[in-house]
Structure formats: C-alpha cells, structure tokens
C-alpha cells in the first residue's frame, strides 16, 4: 500500500516537473519575442520573466534527483555488465548484489551529507526561527539570485531524492535476492503506447 502510493507520487512528480520546465521556457521565449513587437511590448514589459531560466534549472534538478530514484526501479541506470555476464549465475548474482548495495551505500551517504549541508545552509536557522529561538551563531542561509528562494529548500532535492534512491536500491536488491529478477529497461518501448504499425509499400512488378 505504502509502496504503491510512493510509486505513484514519484511518477506524477517527475512527469509534472518535465512538463512544467518545458512550459516555462516556451513561455519565456514567447514573452521575449512579444517584447520586441510594438504595441504588445508595453504589456510584455510589465511581466517579469527574468526568473525563467533559474526556475527551469531547479525543476530539472529536482526531476533528475527523483527520476534517478525511479530509474533504479525501472533498471535504466547503465553499467558495464560485460564481465559479470560471462560468470556463473551464482557469481554473477553476488556481483549484482554487491553493485546494488554499493548504490545504496553511495546514495545513503549522499542523503546524510546532503541533509547535513542543507541543515547548515539555512534549514537550521529556519527551524530555530520557526520555534521562536533565533541564535546569533546560526546564520540565515542564502537565496537563489533570481527567484530569491531559500537555497536550503531548493537543495533539499539532494537528501530527499538520494534517500528515495537508497530505498529503491535496497528494494531492488531484496527482490533480486528473493526472485533472482532485475528490472530491465527496454529502450525501444514507451510503456503503454501501442506498437508501430509496419510500413505497407508496393513492390515493383518484375
């Protein structure tokens, strides 16, 4: 139940981020174009779009961090499996488990480091502010230049995404241990979309 909800949330989030980033840049380009057109430009000038690139970058970085977690679940992260594919199934299995645990180790470490960084970079101050006990030696974190959002919120994609990714590695590892199956990504296929209809052309009369 929990896993199902998490899966859905993850998929909706990354699809939304992809669409939103594309839309933002499209609108920004159209806005800049209109700003050069007489009569419309006065209106266009009133609209501020200087933050578009910054927002797009933030959206994509978030998409990257959570999409990478989704990618563990779909088996899209490519590795050099030439060597281990020639081993006996038992040995191959050991290396697969080693690889998955290494992934969990790295992402887990990043989640902790990222968490520490975000905490020191403003989250601590925000927390103390929230509970009404500001302290001199805990400084307020920086903001992003254009949107002026606190960077600790923006950067929290690292600990959150990495923690989720770590969970996914452990999940895949457990499944592999139980069933011996790994998620496999098929490049030639977008899930849920029908196969292409083959071409129909006339042959030359001999």
Partner 1 sequence: MNALIIFSLLLALMLTGMPISISLGLTVMTFIVTMTQVPIESVALKLFTGIEKWEIMAVPFFILAGNFLTHGGVARRMINFATSMVGHFHGGLALASILACSMFALVCGSSVATVVAIGSIVLPAMVAHGYPMRFGAGVIITAGSLGILMLPSIPKVIYAISTNTSIGALFVAGLLPGIMLALMLAAVTWYIARKNNYPRLARMGWKARFHAFRKSFWGLLLVVIIVGGIWSGAFTATEAAAMAAVYSFFVAIFVYKDLKLRDVPKVLKDSANMSAMLLYIITNAVLFSFVLTNENLPHQLADWLLSMNLGQNGFLFVVNLVLLGAGNFMDPSSIILIMAPIFFPAAMQLGVNPVHFGILIDVNMEVGLCHPPVGLNLYVASGISKLGITELTKAVMPWLLTMIVFLVIVTYWPWLTLVVPQMMGML
Partner 2 sequence: QAPIVIKFSHVVAPDTPKGKGAQRFKELAEQKTGGKVKVELYPNSQLYKDKEEMEALQLGSVQMLAPSLAKFGPLGVKEFEVFDLPFLFKDTDSFRAVTDGQLGADLFKKLEPKGIKGLAYWDNGFHIMSANKPLHNVADFKGMKMRIQSSKVLDAQMRALGAIPQVMAFSELYQALQTGVVDGTEGVPSNFYTQKIFEVQKHMTMSNHGHLAYAVIVNKKFWDGLPADIRTQLEAAIKESTTYANAIASTENGRALEGIKASGRVTIYTPTPAEINEWKKALMPVHKEMESRVGKTTIEAAYKAAGFVAPK
Q: Which residues bind partner 2 (CB under 8 A)?
A: 32, 35-36, 38, 41, 44-45, 48, 50-51, 53-54, 117, 121, 136-137, 139-146, 148, 151
Minimal distance, residue 3 CB to partner 2, in Å: 35
Minimal distance, residue 125 CB to partner 1, in Å: 17
Please select the residue that binds partner 1; options are 55, 71, 123, 172, rule is CB under 8 A. 71
Sign of CA dihedral 161, 163, 166, 172: negative
List the x/- string, 22-61, binding to partner 1 by CB under 8 A. Answer: x--xx-xx---x-------------------x--xx--xx
Between 137 and 195, whose beta carbon lies closer to partner 2?
Answer: 137
Please return the burial class of 166, using the count of CB atoms within 10 Å of its CB with bins 0-12, 13-18 and 19+. buried
Query: Counting contacts by CB under 8 A, is residue 122 touching partner 1?
Result: no
- CA distances from residue 53 to 22, 27, 56, 107 in whole angstroms, order as listed: 11, 11, 5, 28
Residue 139 binding: pick among partner 2, partner 1, none (C-beta 5-8 Å cut-off by kind): partner 2
Using a CB cutoff of 8 Å and minimum separation of 24, what contacts does 54-58 make? 54/144, 54/145, 54/146, 54/147, 55/21, 55/24, 55/147, 56/21, 56/24, 56/25, 58/144, 58/147, 58/149, 58/154
- CA distances from residue 87 to 82, 95, 175, 196 in whole angstroms, order as listed: 10, 10, 21, 37
Query: Counting contacts by CB under 8 A, is residue 105 touching partner 1?
Result: yes
Between 31 and 126, whose beta carbon lies closer to partner 1?
Answer: 31
Residue 184 binding: pick among partner 1, partner 2, none (C-beta 5-8 Å cut-off by kind): none
Between 132 and 198, whose beta carbon lies closer to partner 1?
Answer: 198
């Amino acid at each position: 139940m929990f896993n199902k909800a998490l899966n859905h949330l993850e998929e909706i989030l990354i699809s939304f981020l992809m669409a939103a980033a594309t839309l933002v840049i499209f609108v920004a380009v159209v806005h800049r174009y209109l700003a050069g057109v007489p009569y419309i430009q006065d209106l266009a000038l009133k609209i501020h779009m200087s933050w578009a690139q910054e927002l797009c970058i933030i959206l994509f970085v978030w998409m990257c961090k959570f999409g990478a977690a989704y990618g563990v679940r779909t088996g899209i992260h490519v590795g050099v499996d030439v060597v281990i594919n020639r081993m006996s199934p038992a040995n191959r299995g050991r290396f697969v488990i080693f690889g998955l645990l290494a992934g969990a180790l790295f992402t887990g470490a990043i989640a902790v480091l990222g968490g520490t960084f975000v905490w020191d970079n403003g989250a601590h101050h925000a927390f103390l502010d929230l509970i009404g006990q500001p302290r001199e030696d805990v400084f307020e974190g920086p903001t992003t230049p254009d949107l002026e959002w606190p960077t600790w919120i923006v950067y929290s994609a690292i600990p959150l995404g990495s923690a989720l990714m770590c969970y996914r590695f452990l999940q895949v590892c457990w499944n592999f241990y139980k069933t011996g199956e790994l998620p496999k990504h098929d490049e030639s296929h977008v899930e849920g979309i029908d196969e292409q209809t083959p071409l129909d052309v006339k042959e030359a009369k001999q």
